[in-house]
Structure 1
Amino acid sequence: MMVNILCDNITNRLAYTLNFIFIDVLRVKYKIVSEVNSHEHYPLICYGDKKTLGAFHIKSAGLLYETSIDNVDIKAEGDGENCVLFPIEEGDMKFDIFSAVFFLISRYEEYLSYEEDLYKRFPHTSSIAYQHGFLHYPLVNKWINDLTIELEKRFPKFKSPAKIFTHIPTYDIDIPWAYKHKGFLRNLGGWLRSPGLERLKVLCNLAPDPFDSFSFLKRIHKEHDLNPIFFWLVANKRGKLDKNISPQHPAMKRLVKDHALNKNGLHPSWHSHTAVSVLEKEKKILEKLINVNITASRQHYLRLRLPETYENLISKGITDEFSMGYGTINGFRASTSTAFNWFNLRNNEETSLRIHPFCFMDANSFYEQKQTAGESFNELMNYTELCRKEGGALITIFHNNFLGGATEFSGWKELYKRFIQEVHS
């Protein structure tokens, strides 16, 4: 079924938003028209000021007809999953759903002035989603589903395809081992800071390294036929926030090569964010290790600044980016569970860089939200049900150290096994 969109002015922003709503989310064909053809019986949406007889009317708030980045006065009504942006008295939706969707998935607010957090990132507390209580809900998907309900009422022959739910397990490999393969000096320094027998047992091969969960992951992926994505930190130069094992170390080489048949992505170092040449070198290191062109990426510490981060990644051949989420709280940073192309607001144009938003990361639950493994499981299952309900992909981030045998993360391995069984059985 084709949907006709009647509008007078087709802009880059409008075309981008329509592509996302109808192609990416609904998987429905649409056509932009400038006049009504009485012989066509497709559902008709009229976007703009004028209302057309028989059409479903969405009044424009004007955002999609602008070309600059301004301090937009965003009006919101309601809170939580009942919140709407750009409310308008006229029209059949009572808010400009197209402008609202564009504002959130373009991350418009992240181009405006804000006070960075400790790790030089956009803070979740500055987001309209947090301030209006819908950070933990894929609100964009809900709005779009609400639109289809209204269209089906107005045009009984219109039926949207069934929602699709998928789970994409992803892993950030920052520090593969707690003690092994770190060398004498690093282990000595670690032991002096925190004396204990565990380190000595591991180094003497009397106990497994507590961060090593790779055999466990391989088994669970095979058992449930999963297609995971591993993001590797391969910084050549260690720093305060780049504490990985050297990619030149034989053990690290073996580990990465052992995962060559999986989908792999780059985990650009903290240092690479301000040095594009370092980003390029790290990408080449990973490509050489597994003999595959690397096109996926997720920022270390989720250090993301728009538009510079994405522009740098595009320049180095990255086509799929997985950093769209917060490093301080779980939830939907772009208010959607559906992948979308990045719209570069500075250039006012859609790019081919595909953004894959995540909503759950183990480190957020543990370090930032101070949750137990049981509480985190409940949170994770809540996101699962929301993504099932509204459609889209549940993308999870886990770290190998959470899923090994470290006492600090007791219960997390069991949490993950239970979660995978619940979702994939």
Structure 2
Amino acid sequence: MLLIYVKTLTPRINYTFKQVCANILGYEIGFTSKIEEFVAHEGMKLSYGKQKMGNEFFIQEAGLLNEQGFSDVDLKFYSWDKTTCFFKVSERSDIPYDIFSASFYLLSRYEEYLPHVKDDFGRYPFEESIGYKHDFLEQPVVDLWAYKFNTLLCERFSKDNSVKRKFQNKNVLAVSEAYKYRKKGLVRSIGASLRDFFKLDVSDLIERFKVLFFITKDPYDIYDGLVKESKQNHYKWHFLFQLSNYSINSKNVSYNKIKYHTLIKSMGDYGEIGLLPGYEALYSFATLKLEKKRWESIVNRPLSFVGSYNFDLNLPTLYNNFDKLEIEQDFSMSYAEAVGFRAGTCTSFLYYDINFERISPLVLEPVVFNSNCIKHHTFFELKTQLEKIKEDVEKVGGSLNILMNNKDFDDWNKERKYLNLITYLNEK
């Protein structure tokens, strides 16, 4: 067991040490505030405070984990063995940085609680993040720091604690619009056809009629092909289906359509299924609760996971609403327009609410690639970025999670390159 001495065990210390030492490194850990117990401990031990006590491994605290609420923290960034780190401490510390304060800063999304300008979609812009500004957005720095810390800790106590994690993937498909033309209803189909006619959009008009008259397949109906592809290459999907009311932000088929219900339940035979909350549900608890109820009435079991594809996380309100509805898992932790680790980690972690200094049971799954990025980068750029990221994630036995949309494969042959990229990312 790794015994950790702290003067006061705060919720932040409890949360961060459990994530880094237990969840990432696999240690059984214990905390003590009794000096006698700490000194008498004969195994691995670490003190976290202002001063070193004896021959233990010592990390000097920067103070963030003993604070409450949030304030504008003055951060200075330094290089540390091919990574970037912050919260530098004195030379008395066995590590030159308080990696636990730095980890908490990223995992809690501390910077998103501070005043910031949102983008055109109301999202926290990736350009505002310290990861982007200091060029470590594409590194799972929390995991890399943890592994460096583990190496030094094992050297101090002549132990061999090789971390026993294995590289894994979670592939998520967001279905915000199940069909491009089918199942939209007579009024919507006529209205859309007239719009195409008056805009002289001949190609869409022809495509719409071919689909509606069963001459060609709906471009967004890629489900059978995707299942076949994933079976051939031995990987699975998590499917997120939207059940919102029709609005300017939701153009999906009606949640009442029996064919849509059939699609949702059939995908449950090939992977896990969850809810893609609509735009209004991200800001309204009542709407989110209604969409959850719709999902559960279709699937006939409790909703366990959700994810947001294109819109803001609305921290901390959205995650607190997930908590109230007893949702267990979330796949929203990504930037819609940038590849990288929004929370600085490739390991699932619990949501920490800074407003109430509370550790939530909601598990957050970091997503490194949101396919909205396709609009802002070339395929070569994305492939190069993801290949390098995969190397880093494999080194720390993390999870490489990607979030796609069924619309990404509307031209199956054209998008073959993205299917091949997904297959590569899933190779162990």
The reply to whether TM is greater than 0.5 is yes
Q: Tell me, in whole angstroms, the C-alpha distance in 1 between the residues paired with 2:157 and 2:350.
A: 30
Partner of 1:321: 330
Partner of 1:31: 30
Q: Quick one: which of 256, 260, 265 aligns to 2:264?
A: 256
Do the aligned residues in 1 keep the contact of 2:182 with 2:212 (CA within 8 Å)? yes
Letter in 2 for 1:88: V
Give how far 1:130 is off.
0.9
Q: In structure 2, do the counterparts of structure 1 residues 37 and 310 end up closer, same or farther at CA, with 3 Å as the change threshold?
A: closer
Alignment of 1:8-407 (within 5 A): 8-33=7-32, 34-35=34-35, 37=38, 40-78=41-79, 81-90=82-91, 91-183=93-185, 184-189=189-194, 191-192=196-197, 193=199, 194-196=201-203, 197-235=206-244, 237-261=245-269, 262-364=271-373, 366-367=374-375, 369-372=376-379, 374-405=380-411
Q: Tell me, in whole angstroms, the C-alpha distance in 2 between the residues paired with 1:392 and 1:292.
A: 30
Aligned residue-pair number: 417
Q: Tell me, in whole angstroms, the C-alpha distance in 1 between the residues paired with 2:299 and 2:113.
A: 36
Do the aligned residues in 1 keep the contact of 2:174 with 2:405 (CA within 8 Å)? yes
Q: Tell me, in whole angstroms, the C-alpha distance in 2 between the residues paired with 1:80 and 1:266.
A: 41
Give how far 1:80 is off.
10
Q: Secondary structure at the match of 1:301?
A: coil
Partner of 2:427: 424
Q: Secondary structure at the match of 1:83?
A: strand
Do the aligned residues in 1 keep the contact of 2:309 with 2:370 (CA within 8 Å)? no
Letter in 1 for 2:315: L
Q: Tell me, in whole angstroms, the C-alpha distance in 2 between the residues paired with 1:382 and 1:254.
A: 39
Give how far 1:151 is off.
0.8
Give how far 1:204 is off.
2.0
Q: In structure 2, do the counterparts of structure 1 residues 65 and 326 end up closer, same or farther at CA, with 3 Å as the change threshold?
A: same
Give how far 1:239 is off.
1.8
Do the aligned residues in 1 keep the contact of 2:172 with 2:238 (CA within 8 Å)? yes
Give me the TM-score of the superposition, normalised by structure 2.
Answer: 0.92
Q: Tell me, in whole angstroms, the C-alpha distance in 2 between the residues paired with 1:385 and 1:411.
A: 27
Q: In structure 2, do the counterparts of structure 1 residues 37 and 62 end up closer, same or farther at CA, with 3 Å as the change threshold?
A: closer
Q: In structure 2, do the counterparts of structure 1 residues 323 and 29 end up closer, same or farther at CA, with 3 Å as the change threshold?
A: same
- The superposition leaves residues 372-422 of structure 1 with CA deviations (integer Å, 9 ceiling, x where unpaired) of 3x443333333222211222111111111212426xxx6423331353156
Q: Secondary structure at the match of 1:87?
A: coil
Letter in 1 for 2:253: I
Letter in 1 for 2:113: Y
Q: Secondary structure at the match of 1:343?
A: strand
Give how far 1:6 is off.
1.7
Q: Tell me, in whole angstroms, the C-alpha distance in 2 between the residues paired with 1:190 and 1:79.
A: 58
Give how far 1:300 is off.
4.5
Give how far 1:81 is off.
4.9
Give how far 1:14 is off.
0.3
Q: Tell me, in whole angstroms, the C-alpha distance in 1 between the residues paired with 2:161 and 2:152.
A: 11
Do the aligned residues in 1 keep the contact of 2:274 with 2:304 (CA within 8 Å)? yes
Do the aligned residues in 2 keep the contact of 1:138 with 1:386 (CA within 8 Å)? yes
Do the aligned residues in 2 keep the contact of 1:404 with 1:413 (CA within 8 Å)? no
Q: Secondary structure at the match of 1:206?
A: coil
Moved more, 249-258 or 104-113: 249-258
Q: Secondary structure at the match of 2:403?
A: strand
Q: Tell me, in whole angstroms, the C-alpha distance in 2 between the residues paired with 1:104 and 1:418.
A: 28
Moved more, 222-231 or 305-314: 222-231
Give how far 1:189 is off.
4.2
Do the aligned residues in 1 keep the contact of 2:38 with 2:45 (CA within 8 Å)? no
Give how far 1:161 is off.
2.3
Do the aligned residues in 2 keep the contact of 1:136 with 1:330 (CA within 8 Å)? yes
Do the aligned residues in 2 keep the contact of 1:81 with 1:139 (CA within 8 Å)? no
Letter in 2 for 1:289: I
Q: Tell me, in whole angstroms, the C-alpha distance in 2 between the residues paired with 1:249 and 1:62.
A: 55
Q: Compute the RMSD of aligned alpha carbons.
A: 2.0
Q: Secondary structure at the match of 1:175?
A: coil
Q: Tell me, in whole angstroms, the C-alpha distance in 2 between the residues paired with 1:10 and 1:133.
A: 33
Q: Secondary structure at the match of 1:338?
A: coil
Letter in 2 for 1:185: I
Q: Secondary structure at the match of 2:153?
A: helix
Q: Tell me, in whole angstroms, the C-alpha distance in 1 between the residues paired with 2:29 and 2:154.
A: 15
Q: In structure 2, do the counterparts of structure 1 residues 186 and 398 end up closer, same or farther at CA, with 3 Å as the change threshold?
A: farther
Moved more, 382-391 or 314-323: 382-391
Q: Tell me, in whole angstroms, the C-alpha distance in 2 between the residues paired with 1:381 and 1:390.
A: 15
Do the aligned residues in 1 keep the contact of 2:3 with 2:45 (CA within 8 Å)? yes
Q: Tell me, in whole angstroms, the C-alpha distance in 1 between the residues paired with 2:94 and 2:424.
A: 43
Identity %, equivalent residues: 27
- The superposition leaves residues 305-347 of structure 1 with CA deviations (integer Å, 9 ceiling, x where unpaired) of 2111111111122111110111121110000000111111000
Give how far 1:40 is off.
3.4
Moved more, 175-184 or 161-170: 175-184
Q: Secondary structure at the match of 2:239?
A: strand
Q: In structure 2, do the counterparts of structure 1 residues 422 and 327 end up closer, same or farther at CA, with 3 Å as the change threshold?
A: closer
Letter in 2 for 1:259: M
Q: Tell me, in whole angstroms, the C-alpha distance in 1 between the residues paired with 2:248 and 2:82.
A: 40
Unmatched segments (≥5 aa) in structure 1: none
